[in-house]
Structure 1
């Protein structure tokens, strides 16, 4: 009888312990990416019912708070990892809630905090004291074997964390997170790197310390393609001049000419004469490329202006970005602060070209899906290239196209898109002498200095506004910023009247003329600036009417 009472007493004690789990509050911080922005997600959990017998984790755990498919599937991956560590099945039903409730939770960023809070709610792990449980942000994907895998976008998550919080992230993400310490208000933040779920479990048991990787100096490596030097481009004096003007004022450019005469080479070199990236711009681009999953190694920083060459078969989604639950950045965002190059422009799908009108005009792109909407930056310089006709040699003697074919080919480009391309320039076939001329390296640094001087003038001009450069002056404000000399204004009016161009094209002519004045270091737009601008803005459109 004594033995029977003892067993009964043990069962009662176990029941009391399980019921005590139902009275405990559990909260942890996780991090996730939405668009390019990082969010801190509070992961709450509690036991809600004592089970008659242990249940598999997949059956015992329920998640609320707008959890997407990937978040719900995490329970299966996590339970498989628990099996490896011989963690027993839960004796209580567990309810997990993710806040803020209005944010759609997707991806695998929340695997790690979900795993830890499941163990806390089941009684396997102790809770951290309330005074310190908010000091940690856990991020990471958990594999079936308990490994913690790298995730994209941790730099944005680090930016969303409070300065005093410690980020527990996958090994291989820690150096990217460390970039945030470069900000003056984040120098007290801490970053810990973990490779397995077991390491984090031991930390919460109090059996392991997590080292702050920021205690030691972290070296970052530049990533990105070094642009071609302008001195490598033979001939094409007029096209080079147009390229410098385009970069100096942020103007979009269309290159027209026969195949094989350097259109793509010139476009690629343009990124090398743009102003060098500032520290803030490097961080912004690194966040974008991290969110897109394009950083193949930890501790790399995007250090060169992007050059994105898009094939004409690209879809609208590839250009703008998209996805089902996780909206990935498209080419217009990957080209942010750099060059977006569209070769063989007439061959692009009509809907893809029409979709470019929004980012070209506003400098950002908004993507809407059934459950999510994301807005990405897309302030790029558009450089497009095309042959004048299907065979490429119109109007030369080698051309095999009739007039109707030429018109049909050129008509593939919509008028509204052409109206948003400030400058057009024709590239001629190289002469024999030009083809065999020597190249001269070192031209790009000199041209970059000219561009930087022009951009510095624009920075002073637009101080206190959101206008980044001349090409972005909004409609209705041209007269506020474009100062003409008396002779320059009269000549400008004459050019506009003679050419019968639209109001939008008139504005673009004024903005290109302003950039030419900036390159000359002039405070006013004069007659020569108007003439040179007109040759690219007005005269350029005559190329497609030959």
Structure 2
């Protein structure tokens, strides 16, 4: 009984697992059966694969074809298996030799005329193939640049099924990826364009240096959005491991650039205030897709007009803020997406939002309700809070302020100091350090901790808030080049929280 075999990859979240595809050609009426928990899209591949094989000039077997995808208990989703399904059938029919096919992983969707189309999740699939010990992976030519980001595995590109068949027969070579060209840095503005607001600029620098979350409140037109949009300009480029993490998430989301797939600049994601929980956290039917919090991984998630966002959406941020990842359970399994982002919230003080507080016409209850959507548990996870005020006319003709390049140099030096300190824990920023490490292994002197202990004893701060204040104190110390935070650094950190967070 003829039996063929090929390999592909199932991607769930940013994790991939090797899938073995077996093709059996038996007696009976011509038909195609798929087993191994295929979804609707994969079930439809029976017609796509058969048409692609015949239109390529190959003969489809006359008999009953059974295609089994293993492991059988793993849900199989999408059209990424088309190329491997076609190769398995041709192998079972004896149309192609099995030498090259035995160690290759095939990824791609087939058109009816045999063209190989790009699919989502190529990068995590290639990483999974390398982890499984495979030596070669064949991807759509359009995804060569993305797949070529992975070292340690031979990456080839096929634009048609015919090219793959010729390569398996040893008649031709497939395309190789070109050297990766870094994407151009997007224009995001410079910090020197912000007029005045020295306190808010300092808070932005502290947030950039330590990876802390930031809340900006103040009347409209005062510069909240401008400041938030310029935060990425203060952040250093992503490290190689971080860059691959971010690129893999964007690959699954289907938003990678074909020409410059590698993301090395921290992403900036600013969803609309009408966004749903699914678009913010991730989800969808079948397999969960990454949401805004994951697309902002290792970058900035900016929520403008956060008081207009639904309470359920805001409360859904609490777990990602605390754990740095999202786990979404759906019918086809649990998808895990990293979500280690910096949250920046911006809000007006009330619904009418006049330029001066004295001109507010809102009732006291309306003012309390407006920012009441920001619950205590959510605000407790915000490290820095700044109340911005209108600038005087003299601010527009004052001295020239520092630009992003100057501030970024200080931020980079502070981040390097933090990364060296936490190297043994595998962490890179102060915001990621667990509270028990701060309290036990890197405990501050008693005189420095005195303000925090006073706030705790008077009930003005939670234990979580105390840990976050200490993290900010470490960042302030790193920015001034100190070895360990002193009492002044701790007081500076507490002052950011006592403006409305703690």
What is the TM-score normalised by the length of structure 1? 0.86
Q: Does 1:48 align with 2:9?
A: no
Q: Does 1:34 align with 2:2?
A: no
| Residue 190 (structure 1) aligns with | 154
Greater displacement, 40-49 / 301-310: 40-49
Q: Does 1:173 align with 2:132?
A: no
Structure 2, gaps ≥5 residues long: none
For residues 89 and 128 of structure 1, do their structure 2 counterparts lie closer, same or farther at Cα, with a shift above 3 Å needed?
closer
| Residue 452 (structure 1) aligns with | 412
For residues 97 and 431 of structure 1, do their structure 2 counterparts lie closer, same or farther at Cα, with a shift above 3 Å needed?
same
Q: Does 1:142 align with 2:103?
A: no
Q: Does 1:236 align with 2:221?
A: no
Residue by residue over 1:355-389, the C-alpha shift from the partner in whole angstroms, topping out at 9 and shown as x without a partner, is 10010000001111122101110001111010010
| Residue 40 (structure 2) aligns with | 69
| Residue 25 (structure 1) aligns with | 3
| Residue 269 (structure 2) aligns with | 308
| Residue 211 (structure 1) aligns with | 174
Maintained 8 Å contact 1:226/1:304: no
1:29 and 1:255 mapped to 2: Cα distance?
A: 51
Residue of structure 1 aligned with 2:218, choices 240, 257, 266: 257
Q: Does 1:200 align with 2:200?
A: no
Maintained 8 Å contact 1:233/1:439: no
Q: Does 1:356 align with 2:324?
A: no
| 1:318 to partner: Cα distance | 0.4
1:48 and 1:245 mapped to 2: Cα distance?
A: 68
| Residue 471 (structure 2) aligns with | 511
Residue of structure 2 aligned with 1:160, choices 119, 128, 140: 128
SS in 2 for 1:389: coil
Residue of structure 2 aligned with 1:532, choices 479, 492, 498: 492
Greater displacement, 345-354 / 37-46: 37-46
Number of aligned residue pairs: give it: 500
For residues 141 and 533 of structure 1, do their structure 2 counterparts lie closer, same or farther at Cα, with a shift above 3 Å needed?
same
For residues 230 and 481 of structure 1, do their structure 2 counterparts lie closer, same or farther at Cα, with a shift above 3 Å needed?
farther
| Residue 429 (structure 1) aligns with | 390
1:532 and 1:388 mapped to 2: Cα distance?
A: 24
| Residue 387 (structure 1) aligns with | 348
Maintained 8 Å contact 1:364/1:379: yes
| 1:471 to partner: Cα distance | 2.3
Maintained 8 Å contact 1:224/1:306: no
SS in 2 for 1:108: coil
1:501 and 1:327 mapped to 2: Cα distance?
A: 37
For residues 103 and 437 of structure 1, do their structure 2 counterparts lie closer, same or farther at Cα, with a shift above 3 Å needed?
farther
| Residue 329 (structure 2) aligns with | 368
SS in 1 for 2:496: helix
1:67 and 1:426 mapped to 2: Cα distance?
A: 54
Residue by residue over 1:150-172, the C-alpha shift from the partner in whole angstroms, topping out at 9 and shown as x without a partner, is 11221222212246622221111
Maintained 8 Å contact 1:487/1:527: yes
Residue of structure 1 aligned with 2:49, choices 73, 78, 90: 78
2:365 and 2:9 mapped to 1: Cα distance?
A: 58
Q: Does 1:133 align with 2:97?
A: no
2:157 and 2:355 mapped to 1: Cα distance?
A: 61
Structure 1, gaps ≥5 residues long: 1-21
Greater displacement, 78-87 / 375-384: 78-87
SS in 1 for 2:231: helix
| 1:408 to partner: Cα distance | 1.2
| Residue 266 (structure 1) aligns with | 227
SS in 2 for 1:368: strand
Residue by residue over 1:163-188, the C-alpha shift from the partner in whole angstroms, topping out at 9 and shown as x without a partner, is 6622221111112111112xxxx1xx
Maintained 8 Å contact 2:3/2:91: no
1:110 and 1:452 mapped to 2: Cα distance?
A: 44
Q: Alignment RMSD, CA only?
A: 2.3
For residues 153 and 370 of structure 1, do their structure 2 counterparts lie closer, same or farther at Cα, with a shift above 3 Å needed?
closer
Greater displacement, 302-311 / 89-98: 89-98
1:299 and 1:386 mapped to 2: Cα distance?
A: 35
Q: Does 1:112 align with 2:72?
A: no
1:325 and 1:439 mapped to 2: Cα distance?
A: 54
For residues 529 and 323 of structure 1, do their structure 2 counterparts lie closer, same or farther at Cα, with a shift above 3 Å needed?
same
Maintained 8 Å contact 1:387/1:393: no
For residues 223 and 108 of structure 1, do their structure 2 counterparts lie closer, same or farther at Cα, with a shift above 3 Å needed?
farther
What is the TM-score normalised by the length of structure 2? 0.93
